[in-house]
Structure 1
């Protein structure tokens, strides 16, 4: 189900709770909502659609990756300054991002995975992970 985008700053600043298999429908809704915004969005966290669970969905090229309970386990030694926008916020804001990140997460079937993302995809992951911590750019 495609859900509306939340713009309530107080809700977005809440830290996400751990997701479980009971939250699989929330993951599907997140992917459907992300895909419905394919022209102007490359990643979403569950709180952006009103669900306070640790779930993100990102675009990696033509592929959508759904992650439950993601954790950044390693980062590059190098980082860069950039500007990012967000469907939940107006305008663009400056931020600092690592060149690559390694992430441990559970996939759509709740199997444990570990992946390394670099470049723009790493930037997307970091932005959505900030959402799970209640950090707004």
Structure 2
């Protein structure tokens, strides 16, 4: 089932998300619906707060970047109760966008390598290190469960330049072909 995506300005996007337990109601369905929603909206990642759930859950599929990084072919993962434990490597800038901030992209500097501890959809615990696009996508989605949106990662001047566009987006002035929920 395709879920509505919560848009910039909605308070759920600013919440520090809560960890969940293995018996979280209908977790398998939520994960399946999040992937379906993400694909429908042409995204490569989606965090639970973006569908109105303030919980530490996000999904990613970095396979669209496999042409540039072949190891990302089939890279599809679920992250539950994730904690980034290390950020290393060279910082690099890349334009990022967000399904909760439609029509807006801006350069964001992130580390090239991260180590993260998380549980997968089978509730198995992992500690993995990711590099390149995978690390960037995971950091972006991880920010969501921490209540942080990508414009906050932009340089101060860029943030000021984005303010008017962000205000318009929060009022529903944008074009998207997916269901969404505005803030109250």
TM-score normalised per structure 2: 0.68
- 1:29-49 CA-to-partner distances (Å, cap 9, x unmatched) read 244333343262000110011
1:92, distance to aligned residue in structure 2 (A): 0.7
Question: What CA RMSD, in Å, does the superposition of the two structures yield over aligned residues?
Answer: 1.8
Higher helix share: 2
1:112, distance to aligned residue in structure 2 (A): 1.0
Matches within 5 A, 1:1-137: 1-9=1-9, 10-23=11-24, 25-26=26-27, 28-38=29-39, 40-61=42-63, 62-90=74-102, 91-137=104-150
Structure 1 gaps, min length 5: none
Matched-pair contact (CA < 8 Å) for 1:17–1:53: yes
TM-score normalised per structure 1: 0.89
Counterparts of 2:29 and 2:130 in 1: how far apart (Å)?
22
Mark the structure with the bigger radius of gyration.
2
1:75, distance to aligned residue in structure 2 (A): 1.7
Consecutive aligned runs of 4 or more in structure 1 exceeding 6 Å deviation: none
